[in-house]
């Protein structure tokens, strides 16, 4: 039986690990990224480098993208020498970037014009989820497209769900980011309070994570904070982008999200302090600076 040929676009903090899972599973994989040096280990494992996204599309049955910003998605998928220029009828395009619902619907429209398929499938789980292939994946698009690509999504994810037509996956991810935005603020405030109270923070994290306050941020990011490890599992700059998308979509719906607006101010302060290239756990540094005696 012929192996499905995978195309991969973007090898950043999460994309690299995700692409490697497909190689380890034995899928032929072609790839393109703006920085080729980041792809060297993938090439050594057998991935075939292509000079542009259109060339990746020409040589793939299913194409995945894991990029940074909506502008990157639009350029790589719909721009000159983009996926739309090389995709063949019947090919599937799966964008796993956290991007805008509106862009997801435009991508589907352009792919349908090429008699191809499209799905928005943003993920949650950070660098650890990407490495462990335990990502949560939220999908929007045709149901039959979801059913067809589901076995491939299981290569990189654990909890995978379809939410409806194009853009629905992105909106599910926005709900995820709205929730995380506030829980991250609560996490760093709890740790600073415990720090000032001279509590054993490792013990505090262990106990709190078993009770009603338990959450992903406390379990996975608080231990990094104690080690002063600010390296990105998920960049602050990307989270600022996500909150902006969520607030814009909420405004379009005619709803107000005051908690998210307050959290966004906190993250904006992190950017002002030059921390946008750090992981979201660096919010603890921002809070400490706000509370210097």
* Residue numbers annotated as active site: 173
Gyration radius from the chain CA atoms: 20
Residue 14 tokens read as 């999460």
Contact 30, 8 (CB under 8 A): yes
Spatial contact of 249 and 100, defined as CB atoms under 8 Å apart? yes
* Concatenated DSSP letters of 199-252: --HHHHHHHHTTSTT--HIIIIIHHHHHTT----SSBHHHHHHHHHHHHHHHHH
Element (H, E) at 162: strand 157-164
Contact status, residue 96 vs residue 6, Cβ threshold 8 Å: no
Strand partners, 94: 64, 119
Residue 67 backbone dihedrals phi, psi, to 5 degrees: -115, -170
Closest of 80, 83, 150 to residue 110, by C-alpha: 83
Six-digit token pair at 193? Answer: 């309070």
């Amino acid at each position: 039986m012929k192996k499905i040929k995978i195309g991969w676009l973007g090898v950043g903090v999460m994309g690299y690990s995700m692409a490697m899972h497909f190689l380890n599973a034995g899928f032929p994989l072609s790839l393109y990224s703006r920085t080729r040096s980041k792809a060297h280990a993938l090439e050594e494992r057998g991935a075939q480098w292509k000079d542009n996204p259109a060339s990746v599309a020409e040589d793939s049955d299913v194409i995945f993208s894991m990029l940074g910003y909506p502008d990157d998605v639009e350029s790589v998928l719909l721009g000159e020498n983009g996926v739309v220029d090389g995709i063949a009828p019947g090919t599937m395009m799966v964008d796993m970037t956290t991007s805008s619902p509106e862009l997801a619907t435009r991508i589907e429209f352009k792919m349908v014009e090429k008699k191809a398929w499209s799905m928005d499938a943003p993920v949650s789980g950070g660098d650890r989820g990407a490495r462990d292939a335990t990502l949560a994946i939220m999908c929007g698009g045709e149901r039959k497209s979801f059913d067809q690509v589901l076995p491939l999504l299981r290569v990189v994810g654990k909890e995978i769900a379809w939410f409806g037509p194009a853009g629905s996956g992105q909106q599910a991810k926005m709900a995820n980011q709205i929730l995380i935005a506030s829980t991250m603020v609560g996490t760093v405030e709890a740790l600073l309070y415990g720090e000032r109270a001279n509590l054993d923070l490792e013990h505090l994290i262990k106990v709190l994570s078993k009770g009603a306050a338990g959450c992903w941020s406390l379990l996975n990011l608080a231990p990094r904070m104690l080690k002063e490890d600010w390296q990105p599992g998920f960049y602050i700059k990307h989270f600022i982008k996500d909150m902006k998308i969520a607030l814009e979509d909420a405004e379009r719906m005619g709803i107000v999200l005051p908690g998210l607006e307050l959290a966004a101010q906190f993250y904006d302060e992190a950017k002002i302090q030059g921390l946008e290239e750090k992981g979201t756990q660096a919010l603890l540094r921002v809070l400490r600076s706000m509370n210097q005696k």
